Chains A and B, each alone.
Chain A
Amino acid sequence: MMWLIYICLAVAAPDLLDPKSAAHNSKPRLSFSAKPVVLNTPEDECDTRTTVMRWKTVSAIFFLVVLYLIIGATVFKALEQPHESSQKLAILVEKLDFLAMHSCVNSSELEDLVKQVVSAVRAGVNPSGNSSNQTSLWDLSSSFFFAGTVITTIGFGNISPHTEGGRIFCIIYALLGIPLFGFLLAGVGDQLGTIFGKGIARVEKMIVKWQVSQTKIRVISTLLFILFGCLIFVALPAVIFKHIEGWSTLESIYFVVITLTTIGFGDFVAGEKGGTEGLEYLDYYKPVVWFWILVGLAYFAAVLSMIGDWFRVISKKTKEEVGEFRAHAAEWTANVSAEFKETRRRLSVDIYDKFQRAASMKRKLSSELGVNASMNQEMTPGKRTLSANLCENRDSYPNLTLSLSPVSGALTRNGSLYLNGLSPDYADRREIAIIENLK
């Protein structure tokens, strides 16, 4: 079945796999999503990001499958084990009764017989009943049926080849037959889809008059597809099997589902009770069953691939949403960091300005102070005479800020007093005052 679904997917989901063709489809596909445009997720993101996501998706799905298996295992165990124990008990009781009733048989002889009988039954030979009116399991029609089960990969297993030659032939036969059947199935499914699509188009024309939205139409058409298909391929055959084979309702539905998903356990097989219980089948029963399997398989493949589509769309949507969320988060982060940078910049400019001002003021102060300091420290002869003269008058002139440091060179050179940070006017005034004093 996996092969068949693969082929059907390759046929049925090109617009999922290839966004370009989705854009060219006039109507959206028979699927959950009404907007195929949704599927055109622009995969322009850098490669590393998509590959990272895909690994994560795959491993997430893988863990989900394992979890699903474990859940199934526990449920099956809970449901079946009690039943199995009671069956074991019953058959053991039978055996003991039998041995007790027939005292000439000992346990080991009986076990031998049972072993041989069981292996014979596995080979398809039923030792119970007369051998005269038993039909062979390998007459032409049954062999045809067996070949069919091999090719469709259902593989009931109530008949299986026991000779080496038969097994080798079975392998080669399956190798060639399964792809052949796969292509056939794709073709039949396509025709089925066309027929259904025409019907849906007509129904849609009617519904459009009621002005229902596109999404609803899609959903309705999908539901109709599933409903009609179930009716024709599941419910009807189940009723037929129930009457002809004598199974219960649940057993018939169970047989239909197990067969059409190609699982094919083989505990219930249509048309195989003829030999043992004398049921007479009409001649065309088996070919009809085979034909039903073919068309029903196409229907099931369509349904299962549709379910797979939904999973894919949901996962793409989730990926989209996650992608959107990521984009939003990235945007937000970018904004915040930009703001932060801006604030930092402003702050730093502020601080720098203030720092500059403070530095300049400090320089002013230091330059003023520096005059006093240098007067006491660096005494050149000229300076000494001047300072000596000035020192006499120091008390009376405490706010002398004339700096007689090397800047005094500038005095003579420039002809004007330009002290650090001091405005020239100030310097001039001072200069005038000093010169007046000196005089």
Chain B
Amino acid sequence: MHSAGRSWLLLTGFVLFYVIYLLFGALVFSSIERPVEDKLRHDMETLKQEFLNLSCVNPASLERFLVQVLAANKYGVSVLRNSSATSNWDLASSMFFANTLVTTVGYGHTTPLSDTGKAFSIVYALLGVPFTMLVLTACVQRLMYPLVLAPVGLLQRSGMEPRSATAVHFLLLLLMVVLCFLLAPAAIFSLLEVSWSFLDGVYFCFISLCTIGLGDFVPGTQPGQQYRPLYQVSVMVYLFVGLMMMFLLLHTFHKMADLHGLTTFLQLPHCEETDEDREPIVDNKLEEESSYPSDKAASKPLEPGSQPSYNTINKG
């Protein structure tokens, strides 16, 4: 079958392209970071040597001490003087942790230490992740009307043709999201956090909103942080709303790609409409569809088996 063969070809193409992309990223990261790492290692060696020269400590006991300190630090327990007051597991921090678990960001600055904690995290995550996903999709569906469909309708009524209207709207939405959820919070973070620069703030916002969550920057973990619970709760709220906006952006992009025929061309999944999304954009889409008869005919969702999708689970 032509369509099945084509889908296999596309899949292998994707996989190949993905592997090449990974290799490319590996090369670039390696060349950028490796010299810095070497220098840091050299610095540490000299530091250790200086310490040992000045004191009566022998290397072995220092090693042992350092290993223990590092093991404790991995779990967020610090040996430094002024960190004994704040705990990593008071209510606000635990809620922050639960939030990172459930949104799959997973910073890792604090991790469960006890076995029961680990077992509970497993169960909690397995239930919480789809739950959060449901909430986010529900919220995005609600937000679609006032933030996407209404403005696009407005643009269309003022005389623009549908495709350019959606493109213009998408660009505006992108600009707004970048401004409000990337640049502005980054500026705020760079003010509130002592050691963060503006770029660090942007980096943190981006890594968190993509749910990558490397964990090298986590707000609110400095020892002398004032109003820590309030700070952490507001970061949680920011994460949630930011995730919602990213979802919305993705959905809008998907619709726009549909309208421009990109998804059909690449045999990617269509953006399916729910009942409440029956707004002018869909009517125009149907109009547009008439201009791509051959492609659209093969990709109409009403014909099972013609599209690569999870529906094929049933057909066997």
Contact A150 B312 (CB under 8 A): no
Contact B124 A157 (CB under 8 A): no
Chain B nearest CB, measured from A127 CB (Å): 4
Q: Quick one: given A12-B309, A54-B276, are A305 and B130 in contact (CB under 8 Å)?
A: yes
Contact B91 A74 (CB under 8 A): yes
Tell me the chain B residues, 50-89 only, with Cβ under 8 Å from chain A.
51, 54-57, 61, 63, 65-70, 72-81, 84, 87-89
**1/0 contact trace for A242-259 toward B, CB 8 Å?**
000000001101100110
Tell me the chain A residues, 1-18 only, with Cβ under 8 Å from chain B.
1-3, 5-15, 17-18
Q: Quick one: given A2-B243, A267-B74, are A117 and B34 in contact (CB under 8 Å)?
A: no
Q: Quick one: given A30-B314, A83-B117, are A118 and B73 in contact (CB under 8 Å)?
A: yes
Q: Quick one: given A138-B30, A167-B203, A258-B121, are A118 and B70 in contact (CB under 8 Å)?
A: yes
- A80 to B55: give the CA distance in the assembly, Å: 37
Is the CB of A57 closer than 8 A to any CB of chain B? Answer: yes
Contact A102 B112 (CB under 8 A): no
Contact of A73 among B45, B98, B104 (CB under 8 A): B98
Tell me the chain A residues, 108-146 only, with Cβ under 8 Å from chain B.
109, 111, 113-118, 120-129, 131, 134, 136-141, 143-144, 146
Chain A nearest CB, measured from B128 CB (Å): 6
Is the CB of B162 closer than 8 A to any CB of chain A? Answer: no
Contact of B304 among A26, A147, A154 (CB under 8 A): A26
Chain B nearest CB, measured from A275 CB (Å): 11
Contact A181 B106 (CB under 8 A): no
Instruction: Pick the interface stretch among B7-15, B165-173, B289-297.
Output: B7-15
Chain A nearest CB, measured from B182 CB (Å): 10
Is the CB of B252 closer than 8 A to any CB of chain A? Answer: no
Is the CB of B190 closer than 8 A to any CB of chain A? Answer: no
Contact A72 B105 (CB under 8 A): no
Contact B44 A161 (CB under 8 A): no
Is the CB of B215 closer than 8 A to any CB of chain A? Answer: yes
Chain A nearest CB, measured from B35 CB (Å): 9
In the complex, chain B residues whose CB is within 8 Å of the CB of A154: 106, 212
Is the CB of B286 closer than 8 A to any CB of chain A? Answer: no
Is the CB of A46 closer than 8 A to any CB of chain B? Answer: no
Contact B308 A114 (CB under 8 A): no
Contact B29 A128 (CB under 8 A): no
In the complex, chain A residues whose CB is within 8 Å of the CB of B18: 180-181, 184
Is the CB of B247 closer than 8 A to any CB of chain A? Answer: yes
Instruction: Pick the interface stretch among A61-69, A322-330, A366-374.
Output: A61-69
Chain A nearest CB, measured from B239 CB (Å): 11
In the complex, chain A residues whose CB is within 8 Å of the CB of B70: 117-118, 121, 126, 128
**1/0 contact trace for A358-372 toward B, CB 8 Å?**
000000000000000
Chain A nearest CB, measured from B195 CB (Å): 10
Q: Quick one: given A157-B216, A174-B212, A190-B310, are A10 and B40 in contact (CB under 8 Å)?
A: no
Contact of A137 among B7, B37, B73, B202 (CB under 8 A): B37
Contact A177 B126 (CB under 8 A): no
Contact of A169 among B28, B87, B115, B135 (CB under 8 A): B28
Instruction: Pick the interface stretch among A195-203, A343-351, A388-396, A408-416.
Output: A195-203
- Beta-carbon nearest neighbor of B208 in chain A: A155
Contact B112 A76 (CB under 8 A): yes
Size class of B's contact patch? 35 or more
- A30 to B270: give the CA distance in the assembly, Å: 20
Contact B34 A138 (CB under 8 A): yes
| Residue contacts A-B, CB under 8 angstroms, 6 given | A2-B104, A2-B247, A76-B94, A153-B212, A161-B29, A263-B101
In the complex, chain B residues whose CB is within 8 Å of the CB of A12: 309-311
In the complex, chain A residues whose CB is within 8 Å of the CB of B103: 2
- A188 to B308: give the CA distance in the assembly, Å: 11
Q: Quick one: given A94-B68, A109-B51, are A139 and B30 in contact (CB under 8 Å)?
A: yes
Q: Considering only CB atoms and an 8 Å cut-off, how many residues of chain A contact the other chain? A: 159
Contact B314 A26 (CB under 8 A): yes
Contact A155 B214 (CB under 8 A): yes
In the complex, chain B residues whose CB is within 8 Å of the CB of A258: 106, 121-122, 125
Is the CB of A318 closer than 8 A to any CB of chain B? Answer: no
Contact A312 B134 (CB under 8 A): yes
In the complex, chain B residues whose CB is within 8 Å of the CB of A14: 270, 272, 301, 309, 311
- A80 to B38: give the CA distance in the assembly, Å: 37
Contact B41 A125 (CB under 8 A): yes
Chain B nearest CB, measured from A51 CB (Å): 8
Is the CB of B1 closer than 8 A to any CB of chain A? Answer: no
Please list the 5 inter-chain residue pairs (A to B) with the smallest Cβ-Cβ separation, ordered nearest first: A12-B310, A201-B316, A263-B106, A147-B25, A155-B212
In the complex, chain B residues whose CB is within 8 Å of the CB of A111: 80-81
- A50 to B94: give the CA distance in the assembly, Å: 37
**1/0 contact trace for B10-24 toward A, CB 8 Å?**
110011011001110
18 extra interchain contacts, Cβ-Cβ under 8 A, other than A104-B57, A263-B213? A5-B129, A10-B270, A10-B272, A26-B315, A65-B135, A72-B94, A77-B94, A80-B89, A81-B87, A105-B57, A143-B26, A143-B33, A153-B213, A193-B313, A250-B115, A263-B101, A264-B108, A311-B134
Contact of B94 among A74, A125, A201, A266 (CB under 8 A): A74
Instruction: Pick the interface stretch among A85-93, A379-387, A417-425, A427-435.
Output: A85-93
* Secondary structure call for the A interface: helix
- A177 to B25: give the CA distance in the assembly, Å: 10
Chain B nearest CB, measured from A380 CB (Å): 85
Contact of B72 among A70, A91, A180 (CB under 8 A): A91
Is the CB of B27 closer than 8 A to any CB of chain A? Answer: yes
Is the CB of B183 closer than 8 A to any CB of chain A? Answer: no
- A189 to B11: give the CA distance in the assembly, Å: 11
Contact A72 B98 (CB under 8 A): yes
- Beta-carbon nearest neighbor of A302 in chain B: B310
Contact A147 B26 (CB under 8 A): yes
Is the CB of A168 closer than 8 A to any CB of chain B? Answer: yes
Is the CB of A95 closer than 8 A to any CB of chain B? Answer: yes
In the complex, chain A residues whose CB is within 8 Å of the CB of B212: 149-150, 153-155, 174
Q: Quick one: given A147-B29, A263-B106, are A128 and B210 in contact (CB under 8 Å)?
A: no
Contact A88 B77 (CB under 8 A): yes
Is the CB of A75 closer than 8 A to any CB of chain B? Answer: yes
Is the CB of A355 closer than 8 A to any CB of chain B? Answer: no
Contact A80 B80 (CB under 8 A): no
Is the CB of A194 closer than 8 A to any CB of chain B? Answer: yes
- A161 to B26: give the CA distance in the assembly, Å: 12
In the complex, chain B residues whose CB is within 8 Å of the CB of A398: none
Chain B nearest CB, measured from A146 CB (Å): 6
Is the CB of B250 closer than 8 A to any CB of chain A? Answer: yes
Contact A77 B118 (CB under 8 A): no
Chain B nearest CB, measured from A67 CB (Å): 11
In the complex, chain A residues whose CB is within 8 Å of the CB of B210: 3, 153, 174, 178
